[in-house]
Amino acid sequence: MFKKVLLVLIVLVAIQGLIFATGTQEKKGEKLHIVVATDATWPPMEMVNEKKEIVGFDIDLMKAIAREGGFTVEFKNTAWDGIFAGLAAGKYDAVMSSVTITEERKKQMDFSIPYINAGQVLVVRKEESGVSKLEDMVGKKVGAQIGTTGAFAVEKVKGVMLKTYDEIGLAFEDLVNGRIDGVVADSPTAANFALQNADFKGKLKIVGKPFTEEYYGIAVKKGNKKVLDAINKGLKKVLDSGENKKLEEKWLR
């Protein structure tokens, strides 16, 4: 009887060990290893290139954070609709996927310090001069996606004519073809169309800085202080050194 009880206890301990081994791995003498989920369908922040590699601003930034924070990182391409549920379930350690820090989300997960303001920016044609802010567009027509922060921002500037679109790509087409004079969109979307899109590249430019606040952060499971501290340690060093600005120039300017 004693042998049977002992055998059961051994099996239970082994199972428990397997369960806890599925999370973040850190063996004695080895670096902390953090698995990061990202929905790689949002260029230029995160996307899959022709070599089937996950690339983008967020990816380069996280690699720099890992280097400065003294941990190793692994990326896991994950569909957006289940990305936060997977974090809560412990399928990965963090989510870095153009995640806006909101009060509602902060109730469900913890966030790193903010790493970029992805607020609204103004895009004009390349040859446009004398424009550095939305107020410079008085008497001109500016496009934005209907119901967005960008559309609301344009409406607030007296003398600027707003044209709304169901899909922001149509606004950029009209801008290139001269049917409107500018487009307001969040900075990653603006960078994608103005700088990365083959149809618009070289024809458009982003002017000024974001004029609304929409900060992105790295999400971790609520209470996971070990991972959060490691990420914040590396992120602070990257921000202090200005390496993040070099990455912004590479991907978002």
Residue 27: per-residue pLDDT = 54
pLDDT above 90: residue 141: yes
In this structure, the answer to whether residues 59 and 170 fall within a common structural domain is no
Write the single-letter amino acid at 208. Answer: G
Which whole number is the average pLDDT over 205-226? Answer: 94
pTM of the model: 0.77
Render pLDDT for 37-47 as a digit per residue (tens, 0 to 9).
Answer: 999 988 899 99
pLDDT given for residue 9 in this prediction: 41
On the question of pLDDT at 4 being above 50, the answer is no
When mean pLDDT is compared across 3-12, 59-68, 120-129, 146-155, the lowest value belongs to 3-12
**What is residue 195's DSSP assignment?**
I
Which CATH number is 132's domain given?
A: 3.40.190.10
The whole-number pLDDT of residue 117 equals 93
CB 161 within 8 A of CB 200: no
- 209-227 burial string, b = 16+ CB within 10 Å, else e? ebbbebbbbbbbbeebeeb
User: What's the mean pLDDT when you consider all of the chain?
Assistant: 89
Counting the structural domains of the chain, the total is: 2
Are residue 136 and residue 201 in the same domain, yes or no? yes
Instruction: Quote the domain boundaries for residue 133.
Output: 120-207
Residue 3 burial class via C-beta count within 10 angstroms: exposed 0-12, middle 13-18, buried 19 and up: exposed
